[in-house]
Amino acid sequence: MPELPEVETVCRQLEPELEGRRIATLEVLDPRWCRPIKPAELEEAVAGRTIESLGRRGKYLLLGLDGGRTLLMHLRMTGNLVLVEGEDRLDPSEGMRLYEGERSASERHLRARFALDDGRELWFTDPRRFGEALLLGDDELDAHLASRLGIEPLSAQFTAAALGEMAAGRTVPLKSFLLDQKGVAGVGNIYADEALFRARLHPLSPAGSMKPEHLEALRDGVVAALEAGIDGGGASIDDYRDGRGEKGRMQDEFLVHTREGEPCPRGDGTVERIVVSGRSTYFCPACQAKLRRRPRRRNRPARRSA
């Protein structure tokens, strides 16, 4: 499932290619992709628009169009956004070459395709069809995102103090705490494991048990894990492909994620797998400290309801 580094990789690759290009047509092949809006309605609203930007917030892709509207896209589990050569597109027997990349088997999973004014096409492919798109006016965009996403972890707002505020009084395990998009936006199963390993924190430690030094370590761990993911071009455990249709390399560089039974990179133990919040979670019991729940202080103000 694509997380922040995968979405950021797509964004960085495709923005220079897409900026200033006009969308000749949009063809929605799967009504589920843009529901509740009807495909024809979205196709009409997007056709003829010029792409002003391609940005990211959390795991969302934001395709900024002229006229003050943004097409918000979420890849969910198996979605990919790939730029392809448009030639021969009406004759699949001739083959559809992926832009600068290997031809992908995901052609048959095409959900929507944008034909650009330079003859190339932008494909949204998605085998499991959970990916989605939503067209929003610029006035609605901020509120829409703010109600779903917390702090952007690669921004200056992501500090140990901000993490401390979020974690205060919470008994939820650190792994689940990191997966909550309303806390830290964009971290998913892979990078939560990698961040906790870097921070030497046990995934089952209660979030509210972190002391200032743990908050610093977790902040640094999250940032380092995400930056490593971006440097690695994202992780292709299963379906993820970058904006050119190629696999990422990060899956070969995981420190603990999917490394059950392998030696800890710190050399002090063996990576174990447990299930937290229904998600496979990998950690080293030797160097990731299980913090105790901090004793409640007397006369403590009532904590926020979750």
Positions annotated as catalytic residues are 2-3, 59, 279
Residue from 4, 130, 131, 134 nearest 56 by CA = 4
Of 47 and 289, which CB lies nearer to Zn ion in the complex structure?
289
Put residue 277 in one of left, alpha, beta given phi > 0 → left and psi -120 to 50 → alpha. Answer: left
Q: What is the CA radius of gyration of the chain?
A: 21
Q: Which of 62, 77, 286, 291 binds Zn ion (CB under 5 A)?
A: 286
Of 134 and 196, which CB lies nearer to Zn ion in the complex structure?
196
Which stretch, 134-142, 215-223, 229-237, 283-291, contacts Zn ion (CB under 5 A)?
283-291
Q: Is 284 a residue that touches Zn ion (CB under 5 A)?
A: yes
Pairing between β-strand 60-65 and β-strand 69-74 as defined by DSSP bridges: antiparallel
**What's the token pair of residue 88?**
């021969």
Q: Which of 179, 235, 264, 276 binds Zn ion (CB under 5 A)?
A: 264
Give the CA dihedral 249, 218, 60, 107, nearest 10 degrees: 20
Of 32 and 266, which CB lies nearer to Zn ion in the complex structure?
266
H/E stretch holding 122: strand 121-125
Q: Is 266 a residue that touches Zn ion (CB under 5 A)?
A: yes
Which stretch, 83-91, 104-112, 165-173, 287-295, contacts Zn ion (CB under 5 A)?
287-295
Q: Please give the single-letter amino acid code of residue 72.
A: L
Of 169 and 269, which CB lies nearer to Zn ion in the complex structure?
269
Quote the CA–CA distance of 46 and 33 in Å, as a whole number: 15
Q: Is 269 a residue that touches Zn ion (CB under 5 A)?
A: yes
Which stretch, 88-96, 101-109, 137-145, 267-275, contacts Zn ion (CB under 5 A)?
267-275
Q: Is 66 a residue that touches Zn ion (CB under 5 A)?
A: no
Question: Could you tell me how far CA 258 lies from the centroid of its own chain?
Answer: 18
**What's the token pair of residue 74?**
């979420």
Q: Which of 24, 223, 274, 287 binds Zn ion (CB under 5 A)?
A: 287
Provide, rounded to whole angstroms, the least separation between the CB of residue 43 and Zn ion.
Answer: 53
Give the Cβ contact number of residue 191 at 10 Å: 30
Of 60 and 283, which CB lies nearer to Zn ion in the complex structure?
283
Residues in the site for Zn ion, rule: CB under 5 A? 264, 266, 268-269, 284, 286-287
